Amino acid sequence: MQAVRVGDLTVHPLFDGTAFMQQQDWGGSDWGAHQHLLDADGRVRLPIGGFLVRLGDHLVLLDAGVGDTQNEMYDGGLMLQSLAALGFQPADIDTIVISHLHSDHMGWLERDGQIVFPNATVHVSAADWQHFVHDLGDGRRRANRLLAIESQVQLIHGDDVTILPGLTTRLTPGHTPGHTSMVLSDGDERLIVLGDALHCPAQLTETEWEFVYDVDKALARQSREALLRAAEAPGTALLPCHFPGMQAARLVPARGVRRWVLG
């Protein structure tokens, strides 16, 4: 997996494993124009992981993979190896921003009830913390996992919050109540790290496709369309977690229709 550049910043994908999704997870969508995204069994294979970037003296992790999980949906467990391949250990990371609290984005925050990144402040939206922890939105087991790292958590309230110089938040709700994208800026360039505001490249053009795990599908579509419009600004690229090669998507000039390239 290749690093992504935004100005003088280098964003490193941290591969954690693979998710295996079904075509029907996007409702009754017609995959005829997107056969290249399907494997031999007709499944949609999506990478899982997060992104590592150095901002000044800070080493920042954006999303935390699925963890050491193997089941019919996930084959994970490689993020710490990916981190080590870049010459870092969990204790080196001091800032973590989590787009949302689904299992494939917070999986390495704890392991068997123990904190994995001991020196990190974990930034997560207040709305997601309320939904998943206090309201038990995905069950008590998920809530208990998150309570194990509660001492590290700093809640994000509202929109356009500065985490560090060059790193701000953008509220993109719908997939979860407080889903938050992360905006990296350097000079005239901007990279919006999307979490699950977009799940697969087909949604770059099939903006009406709804994902089965979106808690508010209409709101998720609004957030998705707003992000695609944001990519029209010069120097702006989108970086979803689950695109092939964990690569960014950029608009290129074209008449009459949006044309995207990855990488």
Q: Domains, the chain, ranges and CATH?
A: 4-262 (3.60.15.10)
Q: What is the per-residue pLDDT across 21-54, written as a single tens digit (0 to 9) for each? A: 999 999 878 999 999 999 999 999 999 999 999 9
The average pLDDT across 6-19 equals: 98
Q: How far is CA 95 from the centre of its chain?
A: 15
Tokens of 187: 């000079």
Which pLDDT score, from 0 to 100, does residue 263 have?
82
Q: Is 68 exposed, middle or buried (0-12, 13-18, 19+ CB in 10 A)?
A: middle
Q: What is the per-residue pLDDT across 212-254, written as a single tens digit (0 to 9) for each? A: 999 999 999 999 999 999 999 999 999 999 999 999 999 987 6
The torsion angles phi and psi of 144, rounded to 5 degrees, stand at: -65, -35
| Confidence band for 200, pLDDT divided at 50, 70 and 90 | very high
| Confidence band for 90, pLDDT divided at 50, 70 and 90 | very high
Q: What is the per-residue pLDDT across 65-81, written as a single tens digit (0 to 9) for each? A: 999 999 999 999 999 99
Q: pTM for this structure?
A: 0.96
Residue 7 has pLDDT above 90, yes or no: yes
Which pLDDT score, from 0 to 100, does residue 121 have?
98
- CA-to-CA distance for 18 and 74, rounded, in angstroms? 6
Tokens of 70: 């193997």
Q: What is the per-residue pLDDT across 97-137, written as a single tens digit (0 to 9) for each? A: 999 999 999 999 999 999 999 999 999 999 999 999 999 99
Between 263 and 9, the higher pLDDT residue: 9
Which pLDDT score, from 0 to 100, does residue 131 have?
98
